[in-house]
Amino acid sequence: MNINNLSRRGFIGSSTIAAAGALILPKTSFANSFFKADKPNSVVGGVLIGVTTYSYGHMKNVTAEDMLQYCLQDNISGVELRGDAAELTAGASKRPAGQSLADWRANVSMDAFKAIGKMYKDAGVTIYAYKPVVFGAKNTDAEIEYAFNAAKALGANHCNCEMPEHDDAQTKRIGDFATKHKMRVGYHAHTQATPTLWDTAMAQSEYNSINLDIGHYIAGNNTNTVEFIEKNHARITSMHIKDRKVNNGPNTVWGEGDTPIKDVLLLMKKNKYKFAATIELEYKVPADSTDVKEVAKCRDYAAAILSA
């Protein structure tokens, strides 16, 4: 199903959204197209099946408006919105000549991010997480401040970011901002993950938390995924779901790897955990398919488990 076909299926927008789009979003934006009449719903068995917009990275169009269209096509009602898409829609690529991204971030109006948040909310998609691209050691304090303000404007309840490599000072720095804003930050690890990787960061601030990727976790030869979640569930912001092989093995189509996806999803359902199960598409997309089609397959895989 292409975007144009989807947009003709119905309309749930309002003049308020259109006005916001005219003032803040590009004239060709999703704010001026049609929404689905029936809002998406990807809560199955009490678990929100979400998606990170990184999953749509091979698509031609990658603004926040485009990402919303992809979520609607996949019937997904919750999203981790990445900073690259949000900043494109908010005007980063149209900043004045000579203005650095850092300076743009320090001075951009939050109205643009509020408009994005409203656009998603009105379409029935919750932005539960924001993953900015400004939590590195070389980013300025003003950029980190901006990230938390943007997350709030979008309506997110937490930020996610990559775990700094061997840099306790950086997790302390980010944690101090998180404490100031009273917003949790989930640190995302790859195969360097161990059951104790997050301990120092979590001790530094009650807002420093875990964005667990169960595929990376199992690829790092950690065999206690379920036990780790049970122990740390209160500090998990949201969870990335993918399938990988052990021993730093490759990403696979779901169900073909070693990741205990079924056990994890059933644990979330049984214990009524409130964090989202976030689809992260990383296996190779077949030549005759698209990111949108593969995310739909992942959603169906998770939904079949949770509805049993």
Q: For residue 37, what pLDDT is reported?
A: 52
Please state which of the four CATH numbers 3.40.50.170, 3.20.20.150, 1.10.3720.10, 3.40.30.10 is assigned to the domain occupying 41-306. 3.20.20.150
Q: How many angstroms separate the CA atoms of 49 and 280, rounded?
A: 11
The tens digit of pLDDT for each residue in 207-235 reads 999 999 999 999 999 999 999 999 999 99
Q: Residue 251: what residue type? A: N
The whole-number pLDDT of residue 38 equals: 84
The structure's pTM equals 0.88
Question: What does the domain layout of the chain look like in residue ranges?
Answer: 41-306
Residue 238 contacts residue 215 (beta carbons within 8 Å): no
What is the average pLDDT value for the chain, to the nearest integer?
A: 90
3-class DSSP state of 119: helix
Q: What is the pLDDT of residues 99-109, one digit of tens each?
A: 999 999 999 99
Q: Can you tell me the distance from the alpha carbon of 199 to that of 201, in angstroms, rounded to the nearest whole number?
A: 6
The DSSP symbol for 100 reads -
Helical ranges in 52-206 per DSSP H = 64-73, 83-90, 101-107, 111-123, 141-154, 168-181, 199-204
Structure confidence at residue 14 (pLDDT): 30
For 31-94, the three-class secondary structure string (H helix, E strand, C coil) is: HHCCCCCCCCCCEECCEEEEEEHHHHCCCCCCCHHHHHHHHHHCCCCEEEEEHHHHHHHHCHHH
Tell me the pLDDT tens digit for each residue of 14-67.
322 333 343 344 433 333 333 445 899 999 999 999 999 999 999 999 999 999
According to DSSP, residue 136 is labeled S
pLDDT tens, position by position, 109-147: 999 999 999 999 999 999 999 999 999 999 999 999 999
